[in-house]
Amino acid sequence: MDMLYVFLKGFHNLLRWVVVLGGAYALVLVARGVFTRVAWTGVQDGAARIFTISMHTQLLVGIVLYGLTPLIAAGITAPLTGRLMLIEHATTMILAVVAAQLGTSLARRAKDDRGKYRRAFTWYLVAAVFILWATPWGKSLIPWT
């Protein structure tokens, strides 16, 4: 159980970089589309897919971590670390996953490229703000260290 926790915590840390870099790439692509006339192609679909799938995987790993982390026990004696981590991080990130998924799904249903870009940009921006705000940047930036 302990090894699973250490592995998943490192994996969650590693996947954070896929989320942050993949999200930044998707956001730049859709922002460019909002402000120019560039067409929506498979490149945008691919970026949207990478961002959305990495978010959902992170959500799953996060939920398992929630059940394994010693921070729950620590929260009793160190309320700040535990509570911040377990309540604010999890709830804000769940909202970020919803925002990212909305951006991708609504863009897919838009009738033209303008609509796709506008919808994806709006919701990816919301997701990005949540992710940047709720990521515990004070913890190790390097997985498994």
The region of 9-17, 31-39, 44-52, 104-112 touching ligand HEM under the rule CB under 6 A is 9-17
The only residue of 94, 95, 110, 126 in contact with ligand HEM, by rule CB under 6 A: 94
Query: Which burial class, exposed, middle or buried, applies to 81 when counting CB atoms under 10 A from its CB (0-12, 13-18, 19+)?
Result: middle
The only residue of 29, 30, 48, 65 in contact with ligand HEM, by rule CB under 6 A: 65
Cβ contact 65:90 at 8 Å = no
Q: Indicate the residue type of 13.
A: N
How large is the C-alpha radius of gyration of the chain?
A: 17
The site map against ligand HEM for 10-49 (x = CB under 6 A) is --xx--x--x------------------------------
Interface with ligand HEM: number of residues (CB under 6 A): 26
The site map against ligand HEM for 103-132 (x = CB under 6 A) is ----------------------------x-
Spatial distance between the Cα atoms of 145 and 65, rounded to a whole number of angstroms: 17
Spatial distance between the Cα atoms of 85 and 117, rounded to a whole number of angstroms: 33
Cβ contact 44:29 at 8 Å = yes
**Residues making contact with ligand HEM (CB under 6 A):** 9, 12-13, 16, 19, 55, 58-59, 62-63, 65-66, 69, 71, 85, 89-90, 93-94, 96-97, 131, 135-136, 139-140
